[in-house]
Chain A
Amino acid sequence: KAGVTQTPRYLIKTRGQQVTLSCSPISGHRSVSWYQQTPGQGLQFLFEYFSETQRNKGNFPGRFSGRQFSNSRSEMNVSTLELGDSALYLCASSPDGSGTEAFFGQGTRLTVV
């Protein structure tokens, strides 16, 4: 079975721009969660999608948004980028929503300049 696939692996954007990151979960998994990892704040939960609906949301501003498609693939979008948005963005895939194993992709390294 293929693992969680995130694209692109690396991105460089300018302040004020917007960015869209993509995540393809493990086949058959319906829950997709997004996390931000920085040296200063560690791993922080952004949001979770299940059956195309956002089920949980972390404490991030509204500039961070996401969606999930009928095939469980997910995208997250960050608008009006700030320097502090530079981070590794990780996607995790779970079979369903009942507190089950969460498997991570390799992440997308976003650098805002």
Chain B
Amino acid sequence: GESVGLHLPTLSVQEGDNSIINCAYSNSASDYFIWYKQESGKGPQFIIDIRSNMDKRQGQRVTVLLNKTVKHLSLQIAATQPGDSAVYFCAENTSPVDNAGNMLTFGGGTRLMVKP
């Protein structure tokens, strides 16, 4: 994902609705992806991850979908709650294949606002 700068896209949803946050990633060779949630004044919080050999992975109230053909990642949050309000980032591991390292490239982020 490329950093898009200062103005974050915003998704506004009603409490109880489902949310879908999308992300386009940059490197077709990336094999590992993570979604993070960041609240004001805090570090990013790990939500869910997925490897490139999977198309879908589910957690508690969250689902990540991976479409490698179009290099697209999405995060679905079921029954969105006010506590879900935050900025959400996707990240891909762009470490060179031969060193098996951790080198995350982040998308620009999406601000989720949940209306009570």
Within 8 A of A (CB), among B81-112: 89, 91, 93, 95-96, 99-109
Q: Is A43 an interface residue (CB 8 A)?
A: yes
CA distance A55 to B101 in the complex (A): 7
Q: Is B31 an interface residue (CB 8 A)?
A: yes
A/B pair count, beta carbons within 8 Å: 87
Q: Is B66 an interface residue (CB 8 A)?
A: no
Within 8 A of B (CB), among A78-113: 90, 92, 94, 97-107
The 6 closest A-B pairs by CB, nearest first: A42-B3, A104-B43, A99-B32, A43-B106, A56-B103, A99-B93
30 intermolecular pairs with C-beta atoms under 8 Å apart: A31-B101, A39-B6, A40-B5, A40-B6, A41-B3, A42-B106, A42-B108, A42-B109, A43-B91, A43-B104, A44-B3, A44-B106, A45-B105, A50-B102, A55-B99, A56-B96, A56-B103, A58-B103, A97-B100, A99-B32, A99-B51, A99-B93, A99-B100, A99-B102, A100-B102, A101-B46, A102-B91, A104-B43, A106-B43, A107-B42
Name B's A-contacting residues (CB within 8 A).
Answer: 3-6, 31-32, 34, 36, 42-46, 49, 51, 89, 91, 93, 95-96, 99-109
